[in-house]
């Protein structure tokens, strides 16, 4: 683990054991305040990039957790093997699900990206909302030009 990753882990979970040490408590806990603080950092990263930034928090055997900030629309995507579970910490976005991915292209095994979801269902998401997108379902996060959204995301393996 590089120094930056170790520092991020320390800030997210100050009680985490040092790299290579044995965990005595297998439970991971992230308070909304800590996640929003990390979200503020991702906002700064996004401002100097393409309008979005994310970081993996922790990887487990059948899922991983991450934090995502957006001030622009995401690409349309389909994950063949895993579901996305979004918990909106702050902001507002529209989640489009179902339909088909326009301009679809494979970016890796079981991973498709594209320009937009066509023929999908729109659902408004605000702070406190949770959305589950099953494996194999096209989805896209849309963010209005004057809005942002920060989400805790869990990616769970549903199909081997």
List, for residues 103-154, the tens digit of each pLDDT value. Answer: 999 999 999 999 999 999 999 999 999 999 999 999 999 999 999 999 999 9
Asked if residue 112 belongs to a domain, the reply is yes
How many whole angstroms separate alpha carbon 113 and alpha carbon 144?
A: 20
Asked if residue 125 belongs to a domain, the reply is yes
The total number of residues written for the chain in this structure: 160
* pLDDT for position 1: 44
Comparing C-alpha atoms, which of 80, 133, 85 is closest to residue 106?
A: 80
List, for residues 40-80, the tens digit of each pLDDT value. Answer: 999 999 999 999 999 999 999 899 999 999 999 999 999 99
Cβ atoms of 160 and 81 closer than 8 Å = yes
Helix (H, G, I), strand (E, B) or coil at 21: coil
Give the domain range for residue 123: 3-19+29-157
CATH number at residue 132: 2.60.120.10
Q: What is the DSSP string of 108-135?
A: ETTEEEESEEES-EEEEEETT-EEEE-T
- Which pLDDT band holds residue 18 (cuts at 50, 70, 90)? low
């Amino acid at each position: 683990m590089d120094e930056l990753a170790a520092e991020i882990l320390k800030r997210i979970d100050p009680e985490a054991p040092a790299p290579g040490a044995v965990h005595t408590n297998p439970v991971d806990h992230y308070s909304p305040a800590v996640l929003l603080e990390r979200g503020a950092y991702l906002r700064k990263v996004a401002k100097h990039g393409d309008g979005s930034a994310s970081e993996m928090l922790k990887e487990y055997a059948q899922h991983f957790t991450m934090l995502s900030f957006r001030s622009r629309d995401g690409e349309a995507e389909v994950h063949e093997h895993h579901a996305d579970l979004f918990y909106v910490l702050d902001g507002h976005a529209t989640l489009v699900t179902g339909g088909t991915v326009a301009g679809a292209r494979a970016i890796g095994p079981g991973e498709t990206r594209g320009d937009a979801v066509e023929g999908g269902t729109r659902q408004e998401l605000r702070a406190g909302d949770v959305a589950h997108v099953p494996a194999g379902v096209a989805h896209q996060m849309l963010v209005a030009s004057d809005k942002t959204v920060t989400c805790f995301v869990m990616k769970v393996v549903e199909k081997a």
